[in-house]
Amino acid sequence: MSSIIEDAGTPLIRLRGVSKIYGTGQAQLMALKGVDIDIAAGEFVAIMGPSGSGKSTAMNIIGCLDTPSAGEYLFHSMHVEKLSRDQRARLRRRYLGFVFQGFNLLARTSAQENVELPLLYRGESAIRRRELAAKALASVGLAGWEHHTPAELSGGQQQRVAIARAIVTEPAVLLADEPTGNLDTQRSREIMELLTRLNVEHGITVLMVTHEQDMAMYAKRMLHFVDGMLARDEVNPHPVEVKPPAPSAGAL
């Protein structure tokens, strides 16, 4: 896969006529029906819709976890739908970070080691891995918690570790799939504030699947899916304002 060259005039992500079909015959399901989307670098976008609307399928295609049945997916003008499985994996490792509802942390492994994992796959040295992981944990308010295992952390702290793991490779895009789904209201707000700061202060493009309207209000743009189609694409005129983090932010 050739290197991707930044172009300020080109959308970071562009979907054109993207469809996705699962199954055949009477069991056939059309999860996406000719979806067009442009996402610019630095946006914070909430992807919304009821169960079965196509929002997760769209996220999986954007995240190179799935491929379209028809249409085009361009990442900085590169046709992702034409890449091989290995090429998509390299793009994913280099440019994309993932945060999931269930945290997906290794249970008997420290926060530091969990965050180092993507760097291990990249072949980074042990010294470099420790340095970058410590920096990522500090950026999510968990400096001093490096040696704690998930069982020793709250749900909010576990999600912060997951976010640190997602950003340790300095991705262009952070894809968050229901990142507050397993958290209470207060911890959900803290995670949303963290995602907002990563977007504003670090310029990371954030795409977030959510069914929670109050969480979507942190995004600057909302994409609403219905029956496999993009039913509405709207700018959020009043995104939630996020204040600088408090000194005790790591002690969730």
CA dihedral 45, 49, 52, 55 (to 10 degrees): -10
The predicted-structure confidence for 209-238, as pLDDT tens digits, reads as follows: 999 999 999 999 999 999 999 999 999 999
> What's the predicted TM-score (pTM) here?
0.89
d(CA 190, CA 196): 10
The predicted-structure confidence for 121-176, as pLDDT tens digits, reads as follows: 888 999 999 999 999 999 999 999 999 999 999 999 999 999 999 999 999 999 99
Ranges of each domain in the chain: 13-235
How many CB atoms sit inside 10 A of residue 60's CB?
Answer: 17
Task: Please answer whether residues 97 and 166 qualify as being in contact, where contact means their C-beta atoms are separated by less than 8 angstroms.
Answer: yes
Q: What is the mean pLDDT of the chain?
A: 91
The number of C-alpha atoms within 13 Å of 176 and in the hemisphere containing its C-beta is 33
What's the CATH class of domain 13-235?
A: alpha beta
d(CA 124, CA 122): 6
Tokens 């400096």 — which residue?
A: 143
How many CB atoms sit inside 10 A of residue 23's CB?
Answer: 10
**Which stretch of 3-17, 150-164, 176-190 has the lowest confidence by average pLDDT?**
3-17
* H or E stretch covering 45: strand 44-48
Which pLDDT does position 251 carry in this prediction?
42
Q: How confident is the model at residue 5 (pLDDT cuts 50, 70, 90)?
A: very low
| SS3 state of residue 128 | helix
Q: What percent of the chain has pLDDT over 70?
A: 94
Which pLDDT does position 3 carry in this prediction?
43
18-27, 62-71, 181-190: which has the highest mean pLDDT? 62-71
| Torsion 171-172-175-176 (CA) sign | positive
Tokens 């994309």 — which residue?
A: 96
List the end-to-end C-alpha distance of the chain, in Å, as a whole number. Answer: 41
Q: Which of 69, 67, 139, 94 is CA-nearest to residue 1? A: 94
Task: Please answer whether residues 153 and 185 qualify as being in contact, where contact means their C-beta atoms are separated by less than 8 angstroms.
Answer: no
Which pLDDT does position 11 carry in this prediction?
95
The number of C-alpha atoms within 13 Å of 107 and in the hemisphere containing its C-beta is 1
